[in-house]
Amino acid sequence: MVKVKNADEIRNLVSSDRYDKKRIFSIVAHIDHGKSTTADFLLKRAGLMREEDAGKLQMTDTDDEEQARGITIFTSVVLLAFNDPREKDDKVPYIFQINDTPGHLSFTGEVSRALRSSDGAVVLVDALEGLMTQTETNIRLAVGEEMCRPVIFVNKVDRLISELRLEPKETYARIDKIINDCNDIIRQIQPKNEDWTCSFQYNSVAIGSAKDGWGFTYEILQDKGIHPLKVFEKYNEGDIPWLRKNLPLDDTLLRMIVDHLPDPITASKYRVKKLIDNVDWDSELGKSLMNSDRNGPLMGIISKIFIDPRSFRATLIGRIYSGTLKAGESVYLVGRKEKQRVKRLGIMELTDILDMPEVPAGNLFALFGFITPAGETFVGPELVPDKDDEDEEPPSFEKIKYACEAVVSRSIIPENPQDLAKLGDVVKKWLMADNTAKFHLEKESREYILSGIDPLQIEILTKRINEQVKIKVGEPIIVYREKITKEGQIFYTKSSNGHNRILMQMTPLDQATIDLINSGEVHAEMNAKVRAQILRDKAGWDAKEARKIWDVYEANILLDGTKGLQRLDRIKSYCVSAFRDWVSNAILAKEPALGLLCTFTDAEVHVDPAHTGYNEIASMMFSNLALGFLSANPKLFEPIQKVDIKVPAGSAGSIVKILSQHRGQIQEIRNEGAFERVIGKLPVAEQIGIADEFRGATQGKAFFGYEFLGFEPVPPHLQEQVIMDIRKRKGMPLQMPDTSSYTRFIYARK
């Protein structure tokens, strides 16, 4: 636990209306590029760490698992107060509200959630490794998705001087290339009519070494009359303390952040219109959001759930964008459609909360009192909808966009069978904190299937779960998708009792709609009018048709194409439930379905409710979905990752050989001075254990990263084999499915 020396000062600055003195930002980078080491120097500057410990303790890695593995797993939040030495007459300090995020692909969800509550991003790049896959992903998430303005810190320049022994000219060229590579991505995705590219000349790029504690911008070199060659001289002399004293990294970062990252009011004017749905921007709420007005209607977002690994108590962390959140008052959770009371309120300092009676807009907050999934929107009582008006919903934040999908699974069962329900509750709590992972209960085997981005994410989650409920964990399993490749036939099916019928057709969902669902822009819980407008404008749907969508689930849509049918509302919930059950476990190998548009155009519902129970409705739905799916040339699709490997010059051939042996595809080989960079595609099924092969082929000198690309068909010669392997593992009959099991449900019109 960190003892905050200036707690009252922090509280006063959070409460202050000096928004020009506030900066809310995330530190993002590829794994091992130095985020937590860099954060040490900000903590040191704020008086939370001794000078000699900065760069060594990695103080924001507070979790035991992080310390044991030497990587950041969970985003740490800390609020720090600084005075800018350039403002000698201004006694009001700046307050930095910082998210130190993980760099490993497994925990990229933490990055997305942190950026949602940030206005800016400090992008770190290792001077030796250069721009890596996760760096690119983080820039796209920060600038493109969350509109967080970036600055760049080129870290570990000491490695170019001490390890590679580069001459100054070569070092400058390497740094220039890194800056240009970052700016190439920023130009593609920055807001229109804005220039968010970063420049050493204009002091939005810093250069230095977090390990050795020095750094500079162009302004600092000019102010102090120091030439960059001085850095090379001091390394040759072994005089690192001189660099740390005369070019302190904390001063460099402080200046760059103050000068180039926006304050909350400035950022709100362009960010909130992208992040929030269904707002009249001329209304009181709209104007308040645009100005981060503490006196306006309350609206904010829960962006992170911190679960204490010892007490398992959940702390909700987020950002207030309008109004003021007060301890003891109730808020309305828009997604869950329920009121909850804030029992304790404050601000997060690593592992502790500084209590506050209220927190105004333009600040991060932390609270106890209830638990809800990360990404939840909350509003004040004045924005709660009238129960009689089903069409009216409060505005909500767009779903947080994640760079990866859950494509690896492991089964988990309690050691004590009586703990099955308790296990479900524990898993659900952890997945509220990390909703890039998913789980479901296999009814036949009575075991939970936990799915995540990769084996490491699942390993961390299962360790946490095991601390509360002792579990047995199965081996990693790849999660595939089942898709159709053409339009299916129209089928008319009946319920098992013959009293209900439905006419439905299955067709492939267009890619534009799939992308809108995967990005969170379109989802089941949103207002039907808003959803229809988005689908019309961005995917070419007919607006009237789009308003009749019954369900959006895992990139599949159930659409009501009927007109004026009686008693349809009675079976709607059963149809939706059956649809979700079926697409979660489709028919080729009980893998999730992807990209289905299921449209029913006729139905008959029995007048007696006794004949329209779930089992009856599910039987006609399941059979229709299965028949339609099998008639549409279904295929099994596998998850594919982009793989980016940087190796010493001359080693690319061995990497290409390894990728080729694992069904990888080479897309590009680049020469980058002393290194070669191999970029390709690799099936996730071939990824497990391949890292050891990369290291073995390069004597441990390979740098690599992964990025999720999507799903592609399993090669034709492997389709049946992979399907049979999955069916065998799941205890299913070892034969390809056909229509014979469902034809008895086909309704023959008289």
The pLDDT tens digits of the residues spanning 396-427 come to 898 888 767 778 888 899 999 899 889 988 88
136 vs 205: which has the higher pLDDT: 205
Structural class in CATH, domain 636-714: alpha beta
Distance, in Å, from the CA atom of 155 to the CA atom of 132, rounded to the nearest integer, reads: 13
Average pLDDT, the chain: 87
Q: What is the mean pLDDT of residues 50-68?
A: 45
CATH superfamily, domain 408-479, is Elongation Factor G (Translational Gtpase), domain 3 (3.30.70.870)
Q: What is the pLDDT of residues 70-85, one digit of tens each?
A: 444 445 677 888 888 8
Pairing of the two strands 481-484 and 344-349: unpaired
Which of the four pLDDT bands, split at 50, 70 and 90, describes residue 390? low
Which pLDDT score is estimated for 506?
Answer: 97
Class of the 483-632+734-745 domain? Answer: alpha beta
pLDDT band at 476 (very low <50, low <70, confident <90, very high): confident
Q: Taking 80 as the threshold, does the pLDDT of residue 443 lie above it?
A: no
Q: pLDDT-based confidence at 220, cuts 50/70/90? A: very high
Element (H, E) at 625: helix 614-630
Do the first three CATH levels of 269-397 and 408-479 match, i.e. the same topology?
no
User: pLDDT value at position 4?
Assistant: 47
Q: 289-323 as b/e, with b when 16 or more CB fall inside 10 Å?
A: bbbbbbebbbbbbbbbbbbeeeeeebbbbbbbbbb
Tell which phi-psi region holds residue 146, choosing left (phi > 0), alpha (psi between -120 and 50) or beta.
alpha
334 and 393 Cβ atoms separated by less than 8 Å: yes
CA nearest to 99, candidates 70, 124, 120, 78: 78
Closest listed residue to residue 331, CA positions, set 317, 315, 343, 314: 343
660-717 tens-digit pLDDT? 999 999 999 988 777 888 999 999 999 877 878 888 888 777 877 778 888 999 999 9
Closest residue by Cα to residue 351 from 62, 549, 596: 62
Q: Which amino acid is at 594?
A: L
The reported pLDDT for the residue numbered 69 is: 39
Please compute the mean of the pLDDT values over residues 627-656 and round it to a whole number.
Answer: 92
* Angstrom distance (rounded) from CA 526 to CA 523: 6
From first CA to last CA, the distance across the chain in angstroms is 75
pTM score, whole prediction? 0.79
Q: Where are the alpha helices (DSSP H) in 193-248?
A: 218-224, 229-237, 240-246
252 vs 748, higher pLDDT: 252
The ranges assigned to domains in the chain are 19-262, 269-397, 408-479, 483-632+734-745, 636-714
CATH topology for 19-262? Rossmann fold (3.40.50)
pLDDT at position 750 is 59
Q: Is the pLDDT of residue 3 over 90?
A: no
Distance between CA atoms of residues 529 and 395, nearest Å: 13
Report percent pLDDT > 90 for the chain.
57
Sheet containing strand 596-604, strands side by side: 490-494, 501-508, 596-604, 556-560, 549-553
Backbone angles phi, psi at 736, to 5 degrees: -65, 140
Answer with the residue of higher pLDDT: 651 or 266. Answer: 266
All residues at 6 or more sequence positions from 176 whose CB lies less than 8 Å from its CB, including other chains: none
Is 60 exceeded by the pLDDT of residue 104? no
Q: Is residue 461 scored above 80 in pLDDT?
A: yes
What are the backbone angles phi and psi of residue 253, rounded to the nearest 5°?
Answer: -65, -40
What pLDDT score does 60 carry?
41
pLDDT at position 21: 93
Per-residue tokens: 34: 């130095």
Summarize the confidence of residues 375-381 as an average pLDDT.
Answer: 92
Mapping DSSP to helix (H, G, I), strand (E, B) and coil, where does residue 475 land? coil
- Per residue in 17-29, pLDDT (tens digit) is 999 999 999 989 8
Mean pLDDT of 488-504: 94
pLDDT, position 344: 93
Over residues 631-647, mean pLDDT: 92
Record: fold of 269-397 = Elongation Factor Tu (Ef-tu); domain 3 (2.40.30)
Q: Environment class of residue 232 by beta-carbon count within 10 Å: exposed (0-12), middle (13-18) or buried (19+)?
A: middle
Contact, 322 vs 361, CB < 8 A?
yes
User: Looking at residue 675, what is its pLDDT?
Assistant: 81
Least confident of 48-57, 257-266, 299-308: 48-57
Query: pLDDT at residue 542 above 80?
Result: yes
